[in-house]
């Protein structure tokens, strides 16, 4: 059997060792995801990329493609579950898009548009999450954190710095920590040129003094929905 | 000669702004001349546009804004009792929006900051006239208090999005918003 599998009935080629997500992305097919990034090791935590492989649920970012697999992706059943996951992310943080600099470029928001999320559905948590504005060039607004782990991976794997780490327990206790004695970003060797400074899919890690530079109508996801912008470079 | 057919019964629509800024109502008026076409199909009950003070039986209730005080809750429940369909219009009705930015602060601290301690703002202490509705400890979206049938996000939702949603509803279709019409900012 040749190295292809079926994604919603479409034939997708893969090279052995590729995950379903890698093969689909290389082919330009969109599987909703938040914590996956082609440049970094797999985190597998957001569960948005869950697909049905031969009738069974699996994470497409961790599951290796196999010849002849029949993968369901954008079905009503799976998109309903994905929308619910998004709604839980929206209520457990403080996601106020109108006042967020990342709005229009945010993967959480764009994915919610793609899945037609009309409301948060659940009761809001309104957690108290302090902002860290100590660094001269970078602002950390943890209100928007979705715990994808990409900053942790980017700092470790690309920058060799280990500036961020996941820690704490429980829904409101578990969060991203800054690895310095004071817990402040200013007391690390974090630089605005670090890969981790530009990896955040939401509006947590922001460069200071350049908010709202791109006008509404010309931002990333104003131009086209996230499902129409699948490339291996900018997933 | 046939008797003239009576025109189809117009749908009754009520609107209100709770803890909102009336921006969603302004965006609604941005449908411009399409409002004439709309008025062939609907008539307004309670609304800032009619100045009717209480909501009677309606087909559609449009709620802008979230809940920041006891009166907001009272009005919302009056709408839910009287309206067959409730539409949450805009960010504040849906997730609390800008007023909910006070939710991580203590209410008393906020009131004292505004009315007492802040030098340029404080004049005469925290208002406590019995006519004034009491503020809620936290601001809440409306779906936490009543069942909401439809949601239209945006700050504000664009006139085109409001028009699309209303015309879908009036035609008996499930409202759908394509790329560019669904946005949260």
> In three state form, how does the secondary structure of chain B look?
CCCCCCCCCCEEEEEEECECCCHHHHHHHCCCCHHHHHHCCEEECCECCCCECCCCCEEEEEEECEEEEHHHHHHHHHHHHHEEEEEEECHHHHHCCHHHHHHHCCHHHHHHHHHHHCCCCCCCCCCCCCCCCCEEEEEECHHHCCCCCEEECCCCCCHHHHHHHHHHHHCCCCCCCCCCCCCCC
Give the pLDDT score at B80.
98
CB B157 within 8 A of CB B151: no
Q: CA torsion sign, B27 to B29 to B30 to B34?
A: positive
Q: Cβ of B143 and A121 within 8 Å? A: yes
Domain harbouring A190, CATH code: 3.30.70.20
Residue after which a domain boundary falls, among A74, A105, A133: A74
Find the chain A residues whose C-beta atoms sit closer than 8 A to any C-beta of B. Answer: 90, 94-100, 103-104, 109, 112-113, 116, 118-121, 123-124, 126-129, 216, 222, 224-225
CATH of the domain at A29: 3.10.20.740
- Considering the domain architecture, whether residues A23 and A129 belong to the same structural domain is answered as no
User: What are the angstrom distances between the C-alpha of B2 and each of B6, B8, B9?
Assistant: 12, 17, 20
Q: How many domains does chain A have?
A: 2
Judge whether A86 lies within some domain: no
> Does residue A193 surpass a pLDDT of 80?
yes
Residue where a domain stops, chosen among A41, A74, A107: A74
Average pLDDT over residues A100-105: 96
Q: Is the pLDDT of residue B13 over 60?
A: yes
Say if the Cβ atoms of B97 and A98 lie within 8 Å: yes
* A110 and A183 co-located in one domain: yes
What is the ipTM, given to two decimal places? 0.94
pLDDT of residue B6: 73
Task: Give the domain B11-101+135-170 fold.
Answer: Rossmann fold (3.40.50)
**Tokens representing residue A55 in the block:** 């009738």
Separation of alpha carbons B39 and B33, rounded Å:
10
The dihedrals phi and psi of B17, each to the nearest 5 degrees, come to -115, 115
Q: Judge whether A63 lies within some domain.
A: yes
Looking at the complex, does the CB of residue B143 fall below 8 Å from at least one CB of chain A? yes
Task: Give the residue with greater pLDDT, B3 vs B107.
Answer: B107
Residue A31 in domain: yes
Of the candidate ranges A69-83, A173-187, B110-124, the one whose mean pLDDT is the lowest: B110-124
* Shortest Cα–Cα distance, B7 to chain A (Å): 35
At residue B120 the predicted structure's pLDDT band, cuts being 50, 70 and 90, is: confident
Confidence band, pLDDT 50/70/90 cuts, at residue A173: confident
Answer with the one of A43, A74, A105 that is the final residue of a domain.
Answer: A74
B18-45: pLDDT as tens digits: 999 999 999 999 999 999 999 999 999 9
Residues B13, B59: contact at Cβ < 8 Å?
yes
A with B: how many residue pairs have Cβ under 8 Å apart? 69
Say if A25 falls within a structural domain.
Answer: yes
pLDDT at B81 over 70: yes
Q: Does B174 touch chain A (CB under 8 A)?
A: no
pLDDT beyond 70 at A232? no
Q: Reduce the DSSP state of residue A112 to 3 states and report it.
A: helix
How many Å apart are CA A160 and CA A184, to the nearest integer? 19
Could you tell me the pLDDT band of residue A36, with boundaries at 50, 70 and 90? Answer: very high
Domains in chain B: boundaries = 11-101+135-170
Residues from chain A that touch B138, judged by Cβ atoms under 8 A, are 126
Could you tell me if B104 lies within 8 Å of chain A, comparing CB atoms?
yes
On whether both A15 and A115 belong to a single domain, the answer is no
Q: How far A122 CA sits from the closest chain B CA (Å)?
A: 8
Structure tokens belonging to residue B119: 């030098």
| A101 lies in the same domain as A146 | yes
Could you tell me if B38 lies within 8 Å of chain A, comparing CB atoms? no
| A38 and A115, same domain (yes or no) | no
Its domain, for residue A210, covers 97-227
Summarised one tens digit per residue, pLDDT across range B144-179 is: 999 999 999 999 999 999 999 999 999 999 999 999
Shortest Cα distance, chain A CAs vs residue B184, angstroms? 6
Cis check for the bond before A134: say yes or no (omega within 30 of 0): no
A220 and A160 fall within a common domain: yes
Chain B contact set for A104 (CB, 8 A): 185
Residue A215 Cα, gap to closest chain B Cα (Å): 12
Which residues in chain B have Cβ-Cβ distances shorter than 8 Å to A99? 98, 101
Fill in the DSSP letter of residue A88: H
Instruction: Please check the confidence at residue A231 and state whether its pLDDT lies above 90.
Output: no
CA distance B158 to A222: 14
CA distances from B86 to A114, A215, B79, B143 (A): 24, 33, 8, 10
CA atoms within 13 A on the CB side of B70: 5
Q: Are residues A104 and A69 in the same domain?
A: no
For B106, the closest chain A residue by CA position comes to A128
The span from the CA of A220 to the CA of A10, in Å, is: 27
CB A17 within 8 A of CB A29: no
On whether any CB of chain A is under 8 Å from the CB of B119, the answer is no
Whole-model pTM? 0.95
**Closest to A31 measured CA to CA, from A79, A81, A88, A102:** A79
Cβ contact A166:A147 at 8 Å: yes
B91-111 pLDDT, tens digit per residue, is 999 999 999 999 999 999 999
Say yes or no: B66 contacts chain A, CB-CB below 8 A: no
Task: Inform me whether the C-beta atom of residue B182 falls under 8 Å from chain A C-beta atoms.
Answer: yes
Residues in chain B closer than 8 A to A116 (CB atoms): 176-177, 182
pLDDT at position A234 over 60: no
Contacts of A123 in chain B (CB under 8 A): 144
Contact: A120, B141; criterion CB under 8 Å: yes
Nearest chain A CA: its distance from B108 CA (Å): 17
**A80 falls within a domain:** no
Average pLDDT of chain A, as a whole number: 95
CB contact (8 A) between residue B96 and residue A126? yes
Query: Three-state DSSP class for A106?
Result: coil
Residue A6 corresponds to which tokens in the numbers above?
């079926």
Which residue, chain included where needed, has tokens 């599998």? A5
Answer whether residue A222 shows pLDDT above 80. Answer: yes
């Amino acid at each position: 059997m040749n190295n292809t599998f079926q994604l919603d009935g479409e034939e997708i080629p893969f090279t052995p060792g590729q995950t379903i997500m890698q093969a689909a992305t290389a082919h330009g097919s969109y599987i909703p995801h938040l914590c996956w990034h082609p440049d970094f090791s797999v985190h597998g935590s957001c569960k948005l990329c869950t697909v049905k492989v031969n009738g069974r649920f699996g994470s497409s970012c961790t599951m290796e493609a196999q010849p002849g697999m029949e993968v369901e992706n954008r079905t009503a059943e799976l998109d309903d579950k994905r929308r619910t996951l998004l709604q839980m992310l929206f209520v457990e943080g403080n996601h106020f898009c109108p006042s967020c600099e990342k709005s229009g470029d945010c993967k959480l928001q764009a994915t919610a548009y793609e899945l037609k999320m009309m409301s948060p559905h659940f009761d809001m948590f309104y957690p108290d999450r302090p902002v860290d504005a100590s660094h001269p060039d970078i602002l950390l607004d943890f209100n928007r954190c979705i715990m994808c782990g990409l900053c942790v991976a980017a700092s470790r794997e690309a920058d060799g710095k280990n500036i961020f780490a996941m820690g704490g327990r429980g829904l409101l206790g578990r969060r991203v920590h800054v690895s310095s004695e004071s817990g402040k970003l200013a007391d690390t060797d974090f630089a605005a040129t670090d890969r981790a400074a530009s990896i955040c899919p939401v509006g947590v890690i922001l460069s200071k003094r350049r908010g709202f530079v791109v006008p509404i109508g010309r931002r990333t996801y104003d131009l086209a929905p996230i499902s129409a912008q699948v490339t291996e470079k900018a997933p | 000669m046939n008797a003239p057919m009576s025109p189809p019964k117009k749908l009754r629509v009520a609107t209100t702004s709770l803890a909102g800024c009336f921006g969603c109502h302004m965006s609604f008026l941005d449908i411009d001349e399409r409002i004439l076409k709309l008025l062939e199909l609907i008539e307004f009950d309670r609304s800032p546009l009619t100045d009717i003070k209480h909501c009677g039986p309606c087909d559609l209730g449009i709620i802008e804004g979230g809940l920041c005080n006891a009166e907001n809750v009272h009005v919302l429940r009056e709408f839910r009792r009287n309206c067959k369909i409730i539409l949450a219009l805009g960010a504040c009705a849906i997730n609390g929006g800008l007023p909910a930015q006070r939710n991580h602060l203590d209410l008393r601290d906020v009131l004292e900051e505004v009315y007492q301690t802040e030098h340029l703002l404080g004049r005469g202490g925290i208002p406590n006239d019995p006519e004034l509705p009491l503020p809620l400890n936290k601001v809440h979206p409306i779906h936490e208090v009543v069942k909401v049938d439809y949601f239209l996000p945006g700050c504000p939702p664009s006139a085109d999005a409001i028009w699309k949603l209303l015309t879908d509803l009036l035609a008996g279709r499930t409202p759908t918003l394509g790329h560019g019409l669904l946005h949260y900012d």
